[in-house]
């Protein structure tokens, strides 16, 4: 159903200058997307780490209490640390986690949606105590003539969701933490539902509960409540590990179309599609029983964290859905589908 762009991956770490001379870019992925005055804008998650003099050591950058970047150095043989996951280390005596890279969000612009010019400087970067480990995975929702950006704010407080607002993608104003830890993968609807703002969000109840997509409403985009579960993973198969929001929902005549992510227990991430009721987005009209998009090509099956396709944003041009997706937590790629064909396929699924 989806066709990969022949120039994939469109953006790789090699395309980006690091934000500091002593850093290297190791990932450019999970981008929010919007059409702004004819341009395609991506808010790219840029993961960087300090260039290592000794490649054996693991170095974890974070913002300390005084607002300075500090480095934690961990040797893989240090039995006080669990270093098995490439994305983080865990200090076993305290349970504290540190990330092996720090992400900021950078703005990329394109006239054709394929060839992007990427700034050298962060658009949003670690600044508050809730962002001490970085900011990640921006989603963009246009509302009026403003763009609301939600992003993961990561720190020793946990993974929370922050909100920022921009008009020009030059400067952004923060509006605080809208979902406390652990909660990410927030997808804000581009119009109100029954007089309230609406979103999907994905609480992470640790090892006590399931990782499902929830719905919430808000009068002001900052304060959210009346939380309800919408989509749960299955017991088996491609969505048995977790599900979570992807791109902000797209209004179609048949209902709200959402491209979401699902992972199995091996942490292979695929994408699914969901059609929900216009007036009650907790009501699922159709849901893909198999992935609509899965990691297949080398840049999706290999890389920093392999076997991942993950989306934070898509654009719609006529009947074409342009899905920007992160591949293997390392690069940004593009896949296109016919919106009407996607909806037709979805509506042929057995009723949920």
Q: Closer to a copy of itself by CB, 218 or 340: give it.
A: 218
Contact (Cβ atoms closer than 8 angstroms) between residue 28 and residue 44: yes
Contacts 24+ apart (CB under 8 A), 3-6: 3/335, 3/336, 3/337, 4/297, 4/333, 4/334, 4/335, 5/114, 5/333, 5/334, 5/335, 5/336
Q: How far is the CB of 207 from a copy of itself (least distance, A)?
A: 6
Residue 106 CA to residue 46 CA, distance in Å, equals 7
- Residue that the structure tokens 């946990």 belong to: 158
Residue 95 CB, nearest approach to a copy of itself (Å): 6
Q: Which stretch binds a copy of itself (CB under 8 A): 40-48, 72-80, 104-112, 201-209?
A: 201-209
Binding part of the chain for a copy of itself, among 24-32, 113-121, 138-146, 179-187 by CB under 8 A, reads 179-187
Phi, psi torsion values for 341, nearest 5 degrees: -70, -40
In terms of Cα–Cα distance, which of 89, 93, 13, 1 is closest to 47? Answer: 13
Stretch that binds a copy of itself, among 25-33, 151-159, 253-261, 278-286 (CB under 8 A): 151-159
Question: Scanning residues 73 to 132, which ones bind a copy of itself (CB under 8 A)?
Answer: 90, 94-95, 97, 129-130
Pick the piece of the chain touching a copy of itself (CB under 8 A) from 44-52, 107-115, 212-220, 292-300. 212-220
Task: Name which of residues 243 to 272 contact a copy of itself (CB under 8 A).
Answer: none
- Is-contact 185 201, C-beta < 8 A? yes
- What is the SS3 assignment for 254? coil
Residues 17-76 that bind a copy of itself (CB under 8 A): none
C-alpha span between 51 and 250 (Å, rounded)? 41
Q: Kindly state the smallest distance separating residue 109's Cβ from a copy of itself, in Å.
A: 31
The contact set with a copy of itself (CB under 8 A) reads: 90, 94-95, 97, 129-130, 155-160, 175-183, 201, 203-210, 212, 214, 216-220, 222-229, 235
């Amino acid at each position: 159903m989806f066709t990969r762009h022949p120039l994939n991956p469109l953006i790789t770490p090699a395309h980006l200058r690091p934000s500091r001379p002593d850093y290297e870019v190791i990932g450019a992925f999970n981008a929010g997307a919007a059409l702004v005055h004819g341009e395609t804008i991506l808010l790219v998650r840029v993961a960087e780490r300090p260039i290592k003099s000794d490649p054996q050591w693991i170095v974890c950058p974070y913002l300390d209490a005084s607002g300075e970047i500090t480095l934690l150095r961990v040797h893989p043989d240090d039995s006080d640390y669990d270093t098995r996951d490439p994305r983080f280390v865990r200090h076993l005596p305290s349970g504290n986690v540190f990330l092996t890279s720090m992400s900021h969000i950078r703005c990329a612009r394109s006239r054709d949606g394929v060839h992007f010019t990427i700034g050298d400087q962060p658009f949003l970067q670690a600044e508050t105590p809730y962002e001490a480990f970085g900011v990640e995975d921006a989603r963009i929702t246009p509302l009026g003539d403003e763009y609301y950006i939600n992003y993961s704010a990561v720190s020793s407080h946990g993974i929370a969701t922050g909100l920022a607002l921009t008009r020009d993608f030059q400067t952004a104003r923060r509006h605080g933490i809208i979902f406390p830890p652990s909660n990410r993968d927030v997808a804000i609807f581009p119009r109100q539902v029954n007089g309230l703002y609406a979103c999907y969000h994905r609480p992470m109840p640790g090892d006590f509960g399931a990782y499902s997509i929830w719905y919430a409403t808000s009068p002001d985009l900052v304060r959210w409540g009346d939380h309800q579960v919408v989509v749960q993973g299955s017991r088996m198969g491609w969505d048995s590990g977790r599900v979570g929001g992807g791109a902000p929902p797209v209004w179609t005549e048949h209902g709200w179309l959402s491209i979401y992510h699902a992972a199995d227990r091996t942490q292979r991430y695929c994408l699914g599609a969901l059609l929900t009721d216009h007036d009650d987005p907790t009501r699922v009209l159709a849901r893909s029983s198999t992935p609509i998009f899965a990691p297949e090509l080398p840049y999706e099956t290999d890389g920093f964290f392999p076997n991942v396709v993950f989306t934070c944003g898509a654009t719609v041009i006529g009947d074409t859905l342009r899905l920007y997706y992160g591949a293997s937590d390392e690069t940004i790629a593009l896949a296109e589908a016919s919106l009407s064909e996607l909806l037709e396929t979805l509506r042929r699924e057995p009723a949920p």
